[in-house]
Amino acid sequence: MNAENDTADIELDIDGAAEYLNLPSSKLKGLLDRRIISPNWGGIDNEYRRLFRFDKSVSNIEQGSVLYKKDRSFKLIRGFPKIQRAMLLGPALKNHFSDINTVAVEEKMNGYNVRVTDIGGNIVAFTRGGLVCPYSTERARYLLDRDFFKDYPDLVLCGEMAGPDNPYVPKDVYGIDSLDFFVFDIRDNGHGMPYMLHERRKLAQEYGFSQVKFFGEFSLSDAADEITKIVRELGKVQHEGVVIKDPKMIISPIKYTCSQSNCADLRHALKFYNDIGRDYLFSRVVREGFQSVEWNESEAELQKRCLQLGESILRPMTESIKQVRDGTRIADNVQIRVKDPNTIYLYKEYLKRLGVDAVFGEPEPIGNEYLVKIKKQNQSTNDKTESMCKGELW
């Protein structure tokens, strides 16, 4: 694991890989030198280093893609594509899906994106950025039927890891006990083409995988009204929103979310205002503006929205400031639940490698698993608040 910055030990057949990727060898060499394509972190015994990840998109290959060799031939796990957002549902649906008659609606679950595939007989889980996440890998091995990967060694399962034992986006709203993997896409390892929606759902069901909820297919003329109803209901139970898809998966999907989910994100982000507040704030305020106009809100409804939005911004911030002023550092408290104690060690190493400042609690046995509480430190917010409390100027 410590040979990390040294690519010398990892052999990549540059000419072969360049040919497979349809790039000139000199370009690939440059990308490797600049570490735009680089070996994964080590894992145990550097086993993952031969899985080269794309830190940025290159030609038409998405960021987060992973290149490796299997039985002498190259394989490429494509990065999960970005999903564009509808701001005004009605116009966006008409404009984006103008070539088709019906759209399919699935729930957008709020967790983290994971791609799972078989590599050399083992299930491996990749984060959005193409890193092997040891926690997700352990969970995937335990949650998913191995036979799928024996039957379809060249498929990649894309899904959301959701639930409370989640080190990135913990959520209690789904009634999940620990963490589950919800399939929302099945793609080919190579060209990355997705399965058609109903075929994917059927295949996932055959292997007993959990899946994101399917709300139905709607004609383009009814879709905006139907989706608005769905989103209002999802908001009431603090779920995130929907992803609207071409059933054939030829046109790219688009997403649309509930106000309550925007506000929940803001409450979390503004607690750590100087670490992540900025990244969250503007886009979410703008979403609220568009939704309010599209929903043709009355003065009373608008006032309610203003209050909710303002509270989700200011309240968590004031709480953080008070807490730091009174001498307690703030932290993002998350937890993981593992079967193998070695996963704890690996996950610690992994976070270190990512530069995340995290303090791990003692593993607590629960059943045949271990629960580990993790305090992710948000240095910048703590430091900034402390210095303001001492009277320093912004």
Q: What residue ranges bind ligand ATP (CB under 6 A)?
A: 80, 82-83, 106-109, 113, 160, 184, 212, 243, 255
Distance CA 179, CA 196 (A): 26
Residue 224 Cβ vs ligand ATP, minimum distance, rounded to whole Å: 19
Residue 106 Cβ vs ligand ATP, minimum distance, rounded to whole Å: 4
Of 207, 252, 205, give the one whose Cα is nearest residue 103: 252
Distance CA 275, CA 138 (A): 29
Residue 113 Cβ vs ligand ATP, minimum distance, rounded to whole Å: 3
Distance CA 324, CA 385 (A): 7
* Cβ closest to ligand ATP, residue 255 vs residue 376: 255
If phi over 0 gives left and psi between -120 and 50 gives alpha, with beta otherwise, what is residue 114?
Answer: beta
According to DSSP, residue 142 is labeled H
* Cβ closest to ligand ATP, residue 128 vs residue 339: 128
Alpha-carbon distances of 93 from 83, 87, 197, 334, 343, rounded to whole Å: 14, 10, 18, 37, 43
* Cβ closest to ligand ATP, residue 129 vs residue 153: 129
* Cβ closest to ligand ATP, residue 245 vs residue 384: 245
* DSSP of 198-239: HHHHHHHHHTT-EEPPEEEEEEHHHHHHHHHHHHHHHHHTT-
Residue 211 Cβ vs ligand ATP, minimum distance, rounded to whole Å: 9
Residue 185 Cβ vs ligand ATP, minimum distance, rounded to whole Å: 6
- Structural tokens at position 39: 């070996």
According to DSSP, residue 65 is labeled -
* Cβ closest to ligand ATP, residue 68 vs residue 174: 174
Of 50, 12, 9, give the one whose Cα is nearest residue 31: 12
Instruction: Show the DSSP H helices in 68-194 as ranges.
Output: 89-96, 134-143, 146-151
Residue 339 Cβ vs ligand ATP, minimum distance, rounded to whole Å: 24
39, 51 Cβ separation under 8 angstroms: yes
Distance CA 200, CA 148 (A): 13
Cα torsion 182, 203, 186, 246: sign: negative
Residue 279 Cβ vs ligand ATP, minimum distance, rounded to whole Å: 10
* Cβ closest to ligand ATP, residue 210 vs residue 380: 210
Residue 218 Cβ vs ligand ATP, minimum distance, rounded to whole Å: 16
358's enclosing H/E stretch is strand 358-360
* Cβ closest to ligand ATP, residue 160 vs residue 180: 160
> Which residue's Cβ lies closest to ligand ATP?
113
* Cβ closest to ligand ATP, residue 50 vs residue 255: 255
* Cβ closest to ligand ATP, residue 243 vs residue 270: 243
Distance CA 200, CA 179 (A): 22
Residue 390 Cβ vs ligand ATP, minimum distance, rounded to whole Å: 36
Strand partners for 210: 182
Distance CA 318, CA 117 (A): 44
Residue 162 Cβ vs ligand ATP, minimum distance, rounded to whole Å: 8
Residue 183 Cβ vs ligand ATP, minimum distance, rounded to whole Å: 9
Non-local CB neighbours of 381 within 8 Å, separated by 6+ positions:
271, 272, 273, 274, 275, 320, 324, 330
* Cβ closest to ligand ATP, residue 82 vs residue 248: 82
Helix, strand, or coil (residue 277) = helix
* Cβ closest to ligand ATP, residue 67 vs residue 197: 197
